[in-house]
Structure formats: C-alpha cells, structure tokens
Chains A and B, each alone.
Chain A
Amino acid sequence: MPSETTRKEWLKKAEQLYREVESLSGLEQAEAAKLKLDAIADKNERSGVEMLVWYWLGHGKEPVSSLEWLTTNRILAATFVAVFLIGWVELGVSLIWSGTAGLFTIVLVKFVFRLFDRGFMFRRLFMACVSSGLILIVPAQFAFAFETPFGPVSWGGAPGSALVWIWTMCTILTFCGAAWEHYVSDRM
C-alpha cells in the first residue's frame, strides 16, 4: 500500500504539470500535457495524475494552503543549516564535525518523519519498550546473593536509576506516539 509520502508525490506531480500547462490553450496544451504524462512510467499513476490535471484545467484548482510550502525536505534542509551554523559559529567546532553533526541530526529527524508517515511503528516501538522493560527489569527483581567456597554468587537487584529513567521516557514517548497514531487514524 502506498505511503502518505508516495501519495503526496502524485499530487505534487499533478500540481507541477498543471502549473506548466495551464497558461497554454487548445491543442498546444493537450500536446504539452501528453508529453509530460508520458514521462510517468507507471500507468495507474499516469492515469490518476492525468485525471486530476484534466479536472483542474476544466474546473479550476482550489487555492493552495499557505502551509503547503512547509515540506519535509525544506524542514530537513533548515535543520541541517541550523545545526551546522550552531556547531561552526557558536560552538567553534570544525567545518567537518559541524557538517557531520548536521547530517546525523537530519538522519534522526528523517527517521522521526518516517515514524509519523508510518504511524503504526509507534505501536511496535511502545510494545518493544514495554517488553524490553519487562525482560530487563522483572527477572532482576528475583535478586539473590550468597557466598560459596569459590566466592560470592549474585543475581539481579534494583536497576540503576539512569536506566529506569531512560526506559520510562522511551515508554512514555512511544506511548504518546502510539496514542497520536490511534487518534489520527480514527481507530477510536
């Protein structure tokens, strides 16, 4: 099943094609549109884009939302520039390390965007957090310690508070993500 990103790509292609041919007229418009549509290899995608463009040319296109310029790629580019400049200008880190930090950050941000795009991943991460917490923490509660002729033997005990905090934060964050996904997908 195509992702939201793929669907947006179809819409973007249709909008671009519409902008390119809307000023033309008659046969010239049809020829130009046909030429652009021939570049789309997938016949279903071509048919969908063609239908949208044909409709918009005949009935006019609804106005574009002012927030549509805020695309994923632009957010990623701005993130890279911001991290790079903070590293280079403010912290005085070298060009190479600032660039690396910028790239690393946009990979992380891109990953978060992918999670939003495939929202169900939050549910899986939440389940993974709960499971890992149970696996790591519960068996450790069966703590024992005793001396043997070969030295002390011990198992478990309370986990370090840093570990518990990280686990708690991950669980809360992934739970919020899962709840958000539940809400936007109207699963209630």
Chain B
Amino acid sequence: MMFRRRQNADWENRLDTEVGKLRNAETYREVTLNRIKDLVRAPSEAELIRALAKRVSEGKLRVVYRVVSPSTKASLATFKSPLEVPETMLDESTGEEIDIDRYRHVEPVYVSEVVGAK
C-alpha cells in the first residue's frame, strides 16, 4: 500500500549484506535458499522469496536451480530455469533413473556468476 510504512527491516539489511557479498565475490560463490533463510531470519519464507525476487528482477542477484537427489541429497544438475528441469533423470549417486518433482527436488541457488547451468 502507498501509505504503509516502508520499513527496511533488519532482516532486509541482512539480506542486502548477503547479496552484496555475492555481488562483490572475486571467485565463484553460491548460497542456497535454506542457507539464506538461516542467515537472514526473515519473518516468513514467502516474504523472503518476494524480497529475493525483487533483487533478482533488479539484476542484483543471479539464481540457478539445482536438482537434488531425493535419496542421497547429492546435486544432480543445475539449470538456469526450473521449467527446463526434465521429468526424469539419472541419479548418479544411486545409479537409478528417478522421477523428478520440479518443486520438491529442486532448490534455488543464488550465485555470484552463472557457471555450468544448462
């Protein structure tokens, strides 16, 4: 709302600090959504996602999507878009072909530069 106080809460300051660290990293650096949640301690995950999406839209933050093995939690592949994630993949950590749930088995990763994402 136009008249609501636009308070830049402490958690947003912490988020900006983390975004700054990623932007100014001299070598490749990445932070998963879960790690950001722990570092920032936003009032809710929905609010954190909105704040992250705002920074991604402004070009301050880059995001890629990592497919994680449901059984071993190993990283299987990284994609620039969650919509590019295939429905089935070979889980190299178990050697089995598995069905991928685009929402449960994929996690956003915030990176200093996009390297090796499909």
Contact = CB atoms under 8 A, between A and B. Distances in A.
Interface of A: 1-2, 4, 7, 10-11, 14, 26-27, 30, 33-34, 37, 44-45, 47-52, 54-55, 57-59, 61-62, 67, 113, 116-117, 183-186
B65 to A, nearest CB: 8
A26 B100 CA distance: 11
Interface of B: 1-8, 45-46, 49-50, 52-59, 62-63, 65, 81-83, 87, 102-104, 108
Contact of A52 (B53, B62, B83, B104): B53
A55 B49 contact: yes
6 contacts: A1-B58, A10-B54, A30-B83, A51-B108, A59-B45, A116-B3
Contact of B59 (A4, A44, A58, A61): A44
Given A51-B49, A58-B102, A62-B46, A184 B57 contact: no
A49 B53 CA distance: 7
Nearest to B104: A58
A50 B103 CA distance: 13
B102 to A, nearest CB: 7
Q: Which secondary structure dominates where chain A touches chain B?
A: helix
Nearest to A14: B53
A27 B87 contact: yes
A10 B53 contact: yes
Contact of B1 (A26, A33, A62, A67): A67
B87 A26 contact: yes
B31 to A, nearest CB: 14
A30 to B, nearest CB: 5
Nearest to A7: B54
Given A45-B57, A50-B81, A50-B82, A184 B4 contact: yes
B103 A57 contact: yes
A44 B57 contact: yes
